[in-house]
Amino acid sequence: MDEREIAGINLAFLNRHGPTNVIAFPMREGAYGDLTPNLLGDVVICVDTAHRESRLPGRTLEERLTELLVHGVLHLCGYDHENGGRPARRMAAQSRRLVKKIEESWKLEAGGSKPRQGKAPPAIQKLRKSRSTRS
């Protein structure tokens, strides 16, 4: 999803102007929350924003996408950071724990190192290629 698309979703569903990096849509809330009790909901990630944010030194696109996915899933599980304070600290701590576990599993799969650009799944490689031609 690009910035124009996520800005439209952000305005339509959250009444917020401009793009954002991730939006979570819980399926267990509202009038029809009991229709799909085994589904948490949807997480929408703006790949353009994730790609730009991944350009920070020492960060890969895979790492940033993982952070955003974890962030979105935590929202679906009831975590919130919007008002700051203790709930925000709790969410940040849980996010760090989950991302660390995921990165540890990558190290095990990759023989002790972070995923390398050439070792990314085909979908990420395709995404990288499409983003590099647009940059």
Domain residue limits, the chain: 3-134
Give the separation between CA 48 and CA 128, rounded to whole angstroms. 10
Residues facing residue 44 across a β-bridge: 23
Angular region, 85: left φ>0, alpha ψ -120 to 50, beta rest: left
Instruction: Render pLDDT for 1-22 as a digit per residue (tens, 0 to 9).
Output: 889 999 999 999 999 999 999 9
Residue 107 has pLDDT above 80, yes or no: no
pLDDT at 118: 44
Six-digit token string for 130: 């499409």
Backbone angles phi, psi at 10, to 5 degrees: -60, -45
Mean pLDDT value across residues 119-127: 60
Mean pLDDT value across residues 91-119: 76
Instruction: Render pLDDT for 35-86 as a digit per residue (tens, 0 to 9).
Output: 888 899 999 999 999 999 988 877 889 899 999 999 999 999 999 998 899 9
Give the separation between CA 133 and CA 135, rounded to whole angstroms. 6
Residue 134 has pLDDT above 80, yes or no: no
> Which residue, 113, 17, 104, is CA-closest to 3?
17
Q: Write out the CATH class of domain 3-134.
A: alpha beta
pLDDT at 46: 95
Residue 96 has pLDDT above 70, yes or no: yes
Q: Confirm if 70 and 98 have CB atoms less than 8 A apart.
A: yes
Task: Kindly indicate the confidence band of residue 114, based on its pLDDT and cuts at 50, 70 and 90.
Answer: low
Residue 117 has pLDDT above 50, yes or no: no
